[in-house]
Amino acid sequence: MPARMMKATFLVLLSLSCLVVFVQCYGGRNFDPLKNLVRADRFKETTLASSESEYSPVYVAPQDGLKAADKIESLPGQPNGAIFDQYSGYVTVDPNAGRALFYYFTESPQNSSTKPLVLWLNGGPGCSSFGNGAMMELGPYRVHSDGETLHQNEYAWNNVANILFLESPAGVGFSYSNTTSDYNLSGDKRTAEDSYTFLVNWLERFPEYKTRDFFLTGESYAGHYVPQLAQLILQNNQNTNQTVINLKGIAIGNAWIDFETGLKGRYDSFWTHALVSDEVNEGINLNCNYSTPFLSGVCNEYLDEADNLVKDIFIYDIYAPLCGSSNSPSELMASGISVWIYSGDTDGIVPTTSSRYSIDKLDTSVKTSWYPWYTQDEVGGYAVGYQNLTFVTIRGAGHFVPSYQPARGLAFFSSFLEGKLPPSS
């Protein structure tokens, strides 16, 4: 089979199975990585990683000819009339370990040469940016119910930007390592370092994007990935011998930022949405101090009772039918780049309350008061502008904003790229 055909078949196999991936990663009974991470953190001491790291040289490999080899002529089942270029392939980030990250890149259909470059990272940790982000949320195609063909996503984010989906860390999706122990040693710090090495090499492969405005986006556990990668970019940009990445802003949806605000917001949200009883809520409030390294046994008993009460609803969108830390945030705000936090208001796993508690900890001042924003003559959500930070809710969206509310998600994303608050009328 020709290499290009093998590659196309390789891609479509994932796209046709992405519904299974989506359920396993975000809604399955036995695999819910963010929920499992939260539960594990409840029983171990929390530590604050240092935000400071020394610069070390980045591996850069020859990239000649690889862009042309990565180009996708057409995906199997792809509808006619596509007028944008798309690419996929691997970028080696550690040749000694044999560690390589997989990407899928879609240019904008109109004026791609003038539009910014946006990196998208799914959370999890351990969820596929291609299978989930590209094929279920904001990418140019969705899979038809026949499981064999694709249809265009009217609200794809590549309408307004060039979108780069990265499978990170190694072991997620098609990204891999030839060193088995890598999978046990992966963590936030190395994930940021590998993602940075990927970007430096990818920009050598696609040099026309070196000076383009660059934005980092993601959701859920990308509340860790995005700020740490942004901080690393800003630090390394100060080294004149290294590629300068023109970082302009970050946006994180329903972001899991830290243990204290994430957990408090989550269980407060359960009660305000009438998912748990007054007695359970009172027991949590009396016995749980999320700012301490360990939660008490009594606290964990109440949290387990709350979890048991919501186990039969889809916690990533509480009204949907059931389907099968560091100082980096404040440092990024001080850096002058645009920082946006957005939140689907029906998410139960990282609810709007968690985002608001996280912002409260930053102790920043309000510049534009809370107001409803509009799209298509309807309230799209609510927004508030802080000093160097914007918080936006997306009405009627669960954890995966571009999937549940694609039109509102695209409207918010367009405002983010323009550096303007969402429209108030």
- Examine residue 282 and state whether it is found in any structural domain, yes or no: no
Q: Is 343 part of a structural domain of the chain?
A: yes
* Token representation of residue 150: 């694709």
Closest to 236 in 3D by CA, of 190, 201, 200, 189: 200
Q: Which class for 216: exposed (0-12), middle (13-18), buried (19 or more C-beta within 10 A)?
A: buried
With beta carbons less than 8 A apart as the criterion, state whether 108 and 159 touch.
Answer: yes
Closest CA to 317 of 409, 398, 254: 398
Residue 315 lies in a domain: no
CATH number at residue 119: 3.40.50.1820
Is 287 domain-assigned? no
Question: Domain span at residue 78?
Answer: 3-259+322-418
Residue 264 forms part of a structural domain: no
Q: What residues are annotated to the active site?
A: 220, 347, 399
115 found inside a domain: yes
Number of domains in the chain: 1
Burial of 175 (0-12, 13-18, 19+ CB in 10 A): buried
Q: Which residue in 14, 255, 302, 306 sits closest to 122, CA to CA?
A: 255
Enter the pTM of the model.
Answer: 0.75
Q: Is residue 152 one of the residues assigned to a domain?
A: yes
As a dihedral over the C-alpha atoms of residue 126, residue 92, residue 339, residue 242, rounded to 10 degrees, the angle is 160
Of 126, 120, 123, 124, residue with least CA distance to 139: 120
Tens-digit pLDDT string for the chain (425 aa): 444 444 444 444 444 444 444 444 555 444 454 455 445 555 554 433 444 456 678 899 999 999 999 999 998 889 988 889 999 999 999 999 999 999 999 999 999 999 999 999 998 777 889 988 898 889 999 888 887 889 999 999 999 999 999 999 999 999 999 999 888 888 888 999 999 999 999 999 999 999 999 999 998 888 788 888 988 998 899 886 778 899 999 898 877 666 777 778 788 878 777 677 778 888 988 899 887 777 888 998 998 988 887 777 666 555 455 444 445 556 666 667 888 988 888 777 777 777 887 888 777 889 999 888 999 889 898 898 988 889 998 888 877 788 878 899 999 899 999 999 999 98
| 283 domain residue, yes or no | no
